[in-house]
């Protein structure tokens, strides 16, 4: 063991300690590696910063921009709608459907690309259903990694496998495109079962994008007693000849109708005015205190629903919510009543309450004369609030959520995604160049502005990976990887097939945590094949063990996919250790018997 090997092992231990104890943020760990490794002479200065321009990091930047373009045009909204149609609001079904879909896509494109493309949809689904995003992204990320084992083009180690199966000048029979599929399916099935059974115990319950409801916690402190959203079904026996005003819902029940769905949900009316009549079979969404809404439903013979169904998407926290607007001195609202202003007709927002001085008004709003400094609580869709923000009538006390979607650009966004995939799969253009072409196309065709593209990239992930790549180089440059592999292989003697494949799997899994999976594959495939020949085991199976075990990397956020989901999921290193330890063991338990019995 040389001094360089001892030194690189010490640096590795230092990096692991930084990850576990979180003395600094994970992206700072990456920057520390970029500075420390060349100062110690373990890599060249050029190698130290090469991670930032590597194929993997550039691909991540490009695919995140493509994903942002798809999200901005509403494509991810449509995808989320399809998933929710099949999964409903069941956490296990949502997790299974998202993870299985990403795993399938990962079989035909790089797993980081599949995970990044689905990230916006997963976040939207979590916000819409109330399922903590932390319970969705880690299963999705793990299945994206495993999905690379579905085909021989799903991950870099499997792409290299056939070219590396050469021992003593003999080329062994190559595996077919779907030669590894049975193992991949078993591993994905095991991962899904693992999270369905144990997810509630091992996954964090919060994420940075979690949304509790239509009203922020700050507004809830002030207006918490005003109410919440409830959906009501108007039965077929209902007759209404006078309209909403005559029903006196606000004076009697302190409730406001904010939306109506009719014609079996085909027609939606937002912020209906006082003259709107309720028709038999309508579904209405009412904002008000639960007990008053319940009394109202009982008095009119309506049916209070347990949750929003007809408006599950349109009025989800992704698309609508409640804002507080302050009336400015120069606002045209000053001196007018809400009835005179026709606020619902003009802006499609529903006034819920007015806060003036120390007094809160929840009834009689239409006749109240607006004064400068009044705070008006409004319910509406985010796109409407974005438009109101541009005027001078109201100043919102919080940032407006959501965004104005460019749905007219959806087909163009999908076209650029297709262009990237065709370049990758049809013309074998390098991944980073093909994805950059798609990202550039979205910018040039104004799917995204260049500023929006920059803002969409999670630069913490970029610097984390940029620093871990030179650490893997140092491991290989110093001979540490070869030394460890040779030492372990030499101590095995003449192992049984079970012992040999288990040791190869464990060794490969370790290397992929601390070095690149490509480097581990290039190093270990020839070694494992030679060991297999000496032990009387099929060397093709030993090589396949290395290529499949190279995806067994869950216990640290060092894999590209794990690094990608870390920040959106609100994960800490201990979360990966907690969930990844069991997944790592399960992966081995499923992989080794499958290799022995299927091949």
Q: What is the mean pLDDT of residues 194-201?
A: 94
* 67 pLDDT tier (thresholds 50, 70, 90): confident
Which CA distances in Å does 497 have to 71, 118, 488, 503?
49, 39, 16, 10
CA 573 to chain centre: 18
pLDDT digits (tens, 9 = 90+) for 299-348: 999 999 988 888 877 887 778 889 999 998 888 889 999 888 888 888 88
Rounded to whole angstroms, the Cα distance separating 130 from 124 reads: 10
Which segments of 328-478 are extended strands (E)? 350-356, 359-361, 375-381, 394-396
pLDDT digits (tens, 9 = 90+) for 267-277: 889 999 888 99
Return the percentage of the chain with pLDDT > 90, whole number.
41
pLDDT at residue 207 tops 70 = no
399 beta partners: none
Cβ atoms 156, 553 nearer than 8 A: no
* pLDDT (0 to 100) of residue 222: 76
For the chain, domain boundaries: 3-22+55-166+173-208+430-470+478-598, 217-396
Instruction: Give the CB-side neighbour count of residue 418, counting CA atoms within 13 A.
Output: 6
Contacts of 131 (CB under 8 A, 6+ apart): 89, 91, 94, 95, 125
Element (H, E) at 134: helix 134-147
Rounded to whole angstroms, the Cα distance separating 530 from 534 reads: 6
* pLDDT (0 to 100) of residue 461: 74
Rounded to whole angstroms, the Cα distance separating 513 from 577 reads: 12
Q: Exposure pattern of 527-542 as b/e (b: 16+ CB <10 Å)?
A: bbbebbeebebebbbb
Lowest-confidence segment of 211-225, 444-458, 560-574 by average pLDDT: 211-225
Rounded to whole angstroms, the Cα distance separating 525 from 60 reads: 27
Q: What is the mean pLDDT of residues 363-391?
A: 89
Rounded to whole angstroms, the Cα distance separating 140 from 78 reads: 19
* pLDDT (0 to 100) of residue 213: 60
* pLDDT (0 to 100) of residue 303: 94
Q: What is the mean pLDDT of residues 192-214?
A: 76
Q: What is the mean pLDDT of residues 426-437?
A: 86
Lowest-confidence segment of 153-162, 245-254, 577-586 by average pLDDT: 153-162
* pLDDT (0 to 100) of residue 209: 45
For the chain, the farthest-separated pair of C-alpha atoms sits apart, in whole angstroms, at: 93
Rounded to whole angstroms, the Cα distance separating 356 from 443 reads: 46
Rounded to whole angstroms, the Cα distance separating 219 from 224 reads: 7
pLDDT at residue 283 tops 70 = yes
pTM of structure: 0.70
* 498 pLDDT tier (thresholds 50, 70, 90): very high
* 127 pLDDT tier (thresholds 50, 70, 90): confident
Element (H, E) at 295: helix 290-300
- CATH fold, domain 217-396, is Alpha-Beta Plaits (3.30.70)
* 452 pLDDT tier (thresholds 50, 70, 90): very high
* 447 pLDDT tier (thresholds 50, 70, 90): very high
Contacts of 574 (CB under 8 A, 6+ apart): 20
**Pairing relation of β-strands 283-288 and 256-262?**
antiparallel
pLDDT at residue 128 tops 80 = no
Element (H, E) at 132: none
Q: Exposure pattern of 108-124 as b/e (b: 16+ CB <10 Å)?
A: bbbbbbbbbbbbbbbbb
| DSSP 8-state code for residue 408 | G
Which CA distances in Å does 221 have to 76, 212, 286, 320, 356?
33, 14, 21, 20, 16
The burial class, CB within 10 Å (0-12 / 13-18 / 19+), for 159 is middle
CB atoms within 10 A of CB 560: 27
Lowest-confidence segment of 180-189, 250-259, 334-343 by average pLDDT: 334-343
Rounded to whole angstroms, the Cα distance separating 388 from 135 reads: 35
Contacts of 203 (CB under 8 A, 6+ apart): 134, 135, 138, 139, 195, 575, 579
Q: What is the mean pLDDT of residues 191-199?
A: 95
């Amino acid at each position: 063991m040389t001094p360089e090997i001892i030194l690189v092992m010490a640096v590795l231990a230092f990096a692991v300690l930084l990850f576990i104890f979180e003395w600094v943020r994970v992206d700072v760990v990456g920057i520390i590696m970029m500075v420390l490794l060349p100062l110690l002479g373990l890599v060249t200065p050029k190698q130290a910063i090469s991670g930032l321009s590597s194929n993997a990091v550039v691909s991540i930047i490009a695919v995140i921009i493509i994903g942002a373009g798809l999200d901005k045009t509403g494509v991810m909204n449509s995808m989320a709608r399809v998933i929710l149609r099949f999964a409903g609001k069941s956490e296990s079904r949502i997790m299974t459907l998202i993870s299985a879909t990403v795993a399938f896509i990962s079989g035909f494109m790089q797993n980081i690309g599949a995970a990044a493309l689905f990230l916006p949809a997963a976040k939207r689904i979590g916000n819409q259903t109330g399922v903590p995003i932390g319970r969705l992204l880690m299963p999705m990320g793990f299945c994206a990694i495993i999905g690379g084992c579905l085909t021989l083009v799903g991950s870099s180690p499997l792409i290299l496998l056939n070219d590396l199966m050469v021992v003593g000048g003999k080329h062994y029979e190559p595996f077919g495109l779907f030669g590894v599929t049975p193992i991949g399916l078993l591993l994905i099935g095991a991962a899904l079962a693992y999270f369905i059974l144990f997810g509630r115990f091992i996954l964090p319950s919060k994420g940075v994008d979690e949304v509790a409801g239509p009203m922020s916690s700050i507004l809830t402190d002030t207006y918490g007693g005003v109410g919440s959203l409830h959906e009501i079904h108007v039965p077929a026996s209902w007759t209404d000849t006078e309209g909403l005003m005559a029903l006196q819902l606000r004076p009697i029940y302190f409730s406001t109708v904010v939306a109506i769905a009719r014609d079996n949900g085909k027609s939606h009316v937002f912020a209906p005015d006082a003259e709107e009549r309720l028709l038999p079979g309508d579904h209405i969404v009412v904002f008000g205190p639960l007990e008053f809404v319940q009394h109202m439903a009982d008095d009119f013979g309506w049916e209070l629903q347990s949750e929003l169904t007809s408006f599950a998407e349109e009025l989800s926290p992704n698309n609508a919510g409640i804002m507080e607007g302050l009336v400015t001195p120069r606002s045209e609202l000053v001196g007018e009543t809400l009835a005179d202003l026709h606020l619902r007709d003009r802006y499609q927002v529903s006034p819920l309450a007015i806060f003036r001085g120390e007094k809160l008004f929840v009834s009689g709003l239409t006749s109240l004369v607006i004064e400068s400094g009044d705070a008006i609580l409004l319910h509406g869709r985010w796109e409407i609030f974005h438009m109101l923000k541009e005027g001078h009538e109201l100043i919102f006390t919080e940032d407006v959520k959501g965004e104005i979607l460019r749905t007219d650009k959806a087909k163009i966004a999908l076209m650029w995604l297709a262009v990237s995939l065709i370049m990758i799969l049809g013309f074998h253009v390098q991944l980073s160049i093909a994805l950059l072409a798609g990202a550039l196309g979205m910018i040039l065709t104004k799917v995204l502005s260049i500023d929006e593209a920059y803002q969409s990239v999670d630069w913490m992930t970029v610097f984390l990976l940029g620093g871990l790549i030179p650490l893997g180089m140092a491991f290989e440059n110093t001979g540490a990887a070869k030394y460890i592999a040779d030492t372990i292989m030499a101590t095995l003697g003449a192992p049984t097939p079970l012992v040999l494949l288990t040791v190869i799997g464990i060794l490969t899994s370790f290397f992929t945590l601390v070095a690149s999976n490509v480097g581990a594959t290039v190093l270990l495939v020839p070694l494992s094949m030679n060991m297999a020949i000496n032990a009387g085991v099929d060397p093709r199976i030993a090589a396949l063990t290395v290529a499949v075990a190279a995806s067994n990397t869950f216990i640290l956020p060092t894999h590209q996919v794990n690094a990608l989901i870390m920040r959106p999921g609100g994960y800490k290193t201990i979360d990966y250790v907690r969930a990844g330890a069991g997944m790592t063991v399960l992966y081995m338990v499923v992989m080794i018997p499958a290799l022995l019995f299927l091949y």
